[in-house]
Amino acid sequence: MTWLVAGLGNPGDKYRSTRHNAGAMVAELLAERAGERFRKTRFVPADVAETRIAGERVLLARSHRFMNDSGPSFASVARKNLVPPEQLIAVHDEIDLPFGALRIKLGGSTAGHNGLNSLVSALRSEDFLRVRVGVGRPPGRGDPIGYVLKPFSKDQLPDVPLLIDDAADAVESLIENGLERTQDRFNRSGPRET
């Protein structure tokens, strides 16, 4: 059985530390934990690192395309490796959750998240797992698009590594323990108490 972890984000150093790249940060951390490197995939605009979690083959992917256009990259990796939607885990930033919150779910609405819209369209299915990483909303009536394309604020920075670490743990738990146990353990409405 093969799993695919789609770390949603934008390519390039300019976006590396932005809120919108929370998903890509999680995929990168999982590769780092496994001591694996991302490699370009032939004929697919994506980098993939391969590892094993709980004895299962796991592909960690980052798209070369921008978030709103990234669905076909991940869908191509899934098709090439015979990964059905229910074994795909999309990890993404979520402005509808407070900073530090985590929510794990299967399927459902994309809540207007263009990266998820692109993935649903490319897979022709919304029945994939999601690890939603809470980045919060901009203060006041700030522009959400500009907000997610900026780095985390100074007061958030100390909690970012914890949040990314917990989201990576949640991905591993989904593969090892399934949805319900992972939700029980990781769903929370704010930063983890340290």
Domains and CATH numbers, the chain: 2-186 (3.40.50.1470)
Backbone angles phi and psi of 91, in degrees to 5? -110, 125
| 132, burial (CB in 10 Å: exposed 0-12, middle 13-18, buried 19+) | buried
- C-alpha–C-alpha distance, residues 148 and 146, integer Å: 6
In three-state secondary structure terms, 191 is coil
Structure tokens at 179: 């949805």
Catalytic positions: 20
- Kindly report the average pLDDT of the chain as a whole number: 95
DSSP code at position 59: E
In this prediction, residue 140 carries a pLDDT of 82
Question: Distance between CA atoms of 14 and 4, rounded to whole angstroms?
Answer: 26
Q: Could you give the angle at the alpha carbon of 151 between the alpha carbons of 24 and 109, nearest 5°?
A: 55
pTM: 0.96
Structure confidence at residue 118 (pLDDT): 97
Among 58-62, 139-143, 154-158, name the most confident range: 58-62
